[in-house]
Amino acid sequence: MLKWQEPKMQKVTAAIIEKEGRILIARRKEGDSQENKWEFPGGTIEASETPEECLKRELFEEFGVETRVEDFIGSSQFRSSPQPVELLAYKVFHLSGEFKLSAHQEIRWVLPSELNDYDFAQADRVIIRKLLSKIRA
C-alpha cells in the first residue's frame, strides 16, 4: 500500500517597499492565479537562490527596478493547489529605476492604514497584520 506524502512546501517572497510613508501594492492580472487580488510583489524562490536574491531578481523582472533587501518582516503559510506555500516578507529599499508594469495590471502607493481597504490574497493578509502590529509597536 502506498503511503500519501504531504507535498513539499513551496517558498515565495514578498517585498514591503515603503516610500514617503506609503507602501507599494500590486494587483494581479486577469487570468493569473487569484486574478485581481492585491499583493505585495515578489515571487517563487528558485533552487539556487536565497529569499533575498529571489526578491531582487523578481522586482527587476516585474518592474525594472534595482532594490536592496533589508529586514525580515514575517511569514505566512497557506494551502494552495497543488502544494502548500510559505510566503516570506521582507522590507525592501528601492535603489533606482522607474516602476514599469509587466507582471501586474496596476500598482498603488498606499498608506499603511489603507491596506485593509484592498482585497488582498489570503497569505498577504497575514503579512498585513504583522506589518501593522510592528508599525503600532
Q: What is the CATH number of the domain that holds 67?
A: 3.90.79.10
* Domain region containing 30: 10-136
CA pair distance 110, 7, nearest whole angstrom: 36
CA pair distance 24, 98, nearest whole angstrom: 13
**Residues whose CB falls within 8 Å of the CB of residue 59, separated by 6 or more in sequence, listed in order:** 15, 41, 42, 65, 67, 92
User: Does 83 map to a domain?
Assistant: yes
CA pair distance 28, 120, nearest whole angstrom: 10
Helix-, strand-, coil-residue percentages of the chain, each rounded to 5: 25, 40, 35
Find out whether 63 and 97 touch, Cβ atoms under 8 Å.
yes
User: Does 109 map to a domain?
Assistant: yes
User: Does 111 map to a domain?
Assistant: yes
pLDDT 10s per residue in the chain (137 long)? Answer: 566 566 678 899 999 999 999 999 999 988 777 788 999 999 999 999 999 999 999 999 999 999 999 999 999 988 766 678 899 999 999 999 999 999 899 999 999 999 999 999 888 999 999 998 877 65
Q: Count how many domains the chain has.
A: 1
User: Does 27 map to a domain?
Assistant: yes
Q: Say if strands 66-79 and 38-39 run parallel, antiparallel, or are unpaired.
A: unpaired
CB atoms within 10 A of CB 125: 16
User: Does 1 map to a domain?
Assistant: no
Find out whether 91 and 14 touch, Cβ atoms under 8 Å.
no
User: Does 2 map to a domain?
Assistant: no
User: Does 3 map to a domain?
Assistant: no
